[in-house]
Every structure is written in C-alpha cells, then in structure tokens.
Amino acid sequence: MKKLLMMCMAFIFSLSTYAQETATEKKATKAATEKLAKAKKKEAAKAKAEATKEKTEAAKEKATKAKAKADATKEKTEAAKEKATKAKAKADATKEKTEAAKEKATKAKAKADASKEKTEAVKEKATKAKTKADATKEKTEAVKEKATKAKTKADATKEKTEAVKEKASKAKAKAEATKEKAATTKPAKKIKETTEKAPKVADKVTGEYNGKKVYTGPRGGKYYINSNGNKTYIQE
C-alpha cells in the first residue's frame, strides 16, 4: 500500500514535472516564435523602409530630372519666345520697309507718268514750234529779201537826204549869220526888277532871255522870274 502510494506520488510528480517542462518548452517555443516573428517583422519593416527609401530616392531623382527637363523646356520656350519676338520685330521692320518701298515706287511711277506726259507735251510743243519756226524762217527769208531791196532803196534815199541835209546846213549857217548880224544891230533890252510875285497860274511862255523863260502877261508885258521868285520885266 505504501509502495502504491509512493508510486502514485512519483507518477503525479512525474506528470507535474512533465507538465512544467511542457509549459516551459511551450513558453520557450512561444518566446522563440514571437522573437522570430518580431525579427521577421523588423526585417520586413526594414525591407519596406529600404524599399520606401529607394522609391523616395528614385522619386527624388525622377523629380530632379523632371525639374531639370522642365527648366530646359522653359529655357527653350523662353529662347523660342525671344526668337519669335525678334522674328516678329524683324518681320514688322521688313513690312514697314516693304510698305515704304511700295509707297516710294508708287510716287516714282506717278512722277514718271507725269514726266512722260510732260515730255509728250514738250515734244508736241516742240513739233508745233518747229513748224512755226519753219514758217517764220520762210517769212524771215522773204522779209530779208524785202529788207535788202528796201536797204538798197534806203541807201539811195540816204544819199539824197545827205545832200539835202548838207544844203540845209549851209542854209542854216547862212541864216544864223544873218540873225547874229541882226542881233548886233538891235538896241539893248532894259530890265526892271519888281517885288511882284509869280502868278499861281503861269502865263504863256513866249521866249527866252539869258537862259530864263520869258512870259507874256495879260496886258502884253514880258517878264521872267528872278532868283528871288519875283517878276523882272523886260523893256524893249
């Protein structure tokens, strides 16, 4: 009985020890499993972080490249805009030059047309002038011929006139000599100065005395105006 009890107690102790060992093993297994899980989770988290980091780096690099590309595109766009602006300015300048050239050409054409019309008018005028000149030349020739005949006649007339003049000169010289002779025989004229002023309405001029005009008054008196502006009568 005692032996049975001992055996029962040994069995119970064995069961208790086994249970304890099993529990310890289970606990150890659970801890190992949890540790392994934590390690795996940590590895997974680390791998995920690495992947995220790589993705972030890749995204950053992609963004940098995209920014660089955008900057390059922007520069190209700015250059294109500047080129387009210059091209437009050049086109505008060319257009202005073309318009100016057209306007100049139009004015030149108008001037040329006017000049042509003027030239035609001058030619027509010159033709008429030539026709008129030819007619005038013919008339001139006729006039010259007539003038030659007239000159011949005039020369003959001149000779006759010279002869008549010479004869007249001799007659005049003779008359002058007769006059001088008559003057020397005339009695000297007497003059009488007065304070009588010259009339507002001049009397009739009837002669000359010592280079002064001699007037005849309404009563027949003859006088001239002296340096004082008064009448000086001439008595025969």
Q: Are strands 204-209 and 212-216 parallel, antiparallel or unpaired?
A: antiparallel
Segment of 28-32, 105-109, 158-162, 205-209 carrying the highest mean pLDDT: 205-209
| Rounded Cα gap, residues 48 and 50, in angstroms | 5
Range in 28-32, 44-48, 178-182, 228-232 with the lowest mean pLDDT:
178-182
Residue 200, in any domain of the structure: yes
Q: How many domains does the chain have?
A: 1
| pLDDT above 80 (res 211) | yes
Strand partners, 205: 215
The amino acid at residue 203 is D
**Each residue's pLDDT tens digit, 88-143:** 989 798 899 989 879 997 897 989 698 899 969 869 996 797 989 688 799 969 86
Residue 207, in any domain of the structure: yes
Its pTM stands at: 0.29
The amino acid at residue 219 is R
Residue 180 is predicted with a pLDDT of 56
Average pLDDT over residues 178-207: 75
Count of CA atoms in the C-beta half-sphere (13 A) of 171:
6
Residue 118 is predicted with a pLDDT of 93
Residue 220, in any domain of the structure: yes
Residue 19, in any domain of the structure: no
Average pLDDT over residues 70-90: 89
Q: What angle do CA 156, 162, 166 make, to 5 degrees?
A: 155
Residue 29, in any domain of the structure: no
Q: Structural domain of residue 220, as residue ranges?
A: 188-236
CB contact at 8 A, 197 and 229: yes
**Each residue's pLDDT tens digit, 161-182:** 787 788 877 777 676 655 555 5
Segment of 30-34, 134-138, 220-224 carrying the highest mean pLDDT: 220-224
Q: H-helix or E-strand containing 190?
A: strand 190-197
| Rg from Cα positions in the chain | 77
Nearest residue to 193 via CA among 154, 223, 163: 223
Residue 13, in any domain of the structure: no
Residue 53, in any domain of the structure: no
Residue 73, in any domain of the structure: no
The amino acid at residue 63 is A
